Amino acid sequence: MAGPALHTDLDATLANYPTAHDLDPSEKSDYDKYVTYWRRHFQSVEDDFELERGLNHIFATDWVPSVDVISDALQATRKLNSFATAVRVLEALEGKAHSKDQYANYLKELKPLLEELGVVEKKDLGAFDFVREKRWWME
């Protein structure tokens, strides 16, 4: 019986991504390696699974992702026609940022891209009224 360790198509992908515990944030080369890896990942993403796997990894680390990584992630959401995921990227970034000022700086840097892609923050979507179907037993 073949186990997961024998799947060679997965080994190359999973063995090469930089994990947070392997990298030292104070080392510029480690940070650059991390940014380069995830930029390349989002630029070549082919499906929703890989996009969301990458997003889970970048938001699970102690580092706030760079503007370049977020930009590539947003472009990947557009490539896959996933507006909801793009809005969630901004929502996750807001939660990950250390302060409101840091988040505002990200939005300022990303503004041209957000306008180009038509992506807005969750709060800008407005409130939705829930429409429930009237049931016969409620009459």
Q: List the domains of the chain with CATH numbers.
A: 23-120 (1.25.40.40)
The CA angle 77-100-53, to the nearest 5 degrees, is 30
Say which residue the tokens 């993403």 belong to. 45
Q: Indicate the range of 2-11, 69-78, 106-115 predicted with least confidence.
A: 2-11
| Per-residue pLDDT at 138 | 60
Residue 78 has pLDDT above 90, yes or no: yes
Its pTM stands at 0.75
Contact of 74 with 111, CB cutoff 8 Å: no
Above 50 in pLDDT, residue 17?
yes
Could you read off the pLDDT of 47-62 as tens digits, one per residue? 999 999 999 999 988 7
% of the chain surpassing 90 pLDDT = 56
Give the whole-angstrom CA distance, residue 108 versus residue 50: 27
Confidence of residue 102 (pLDDT cuts 50, 70, 90): very high
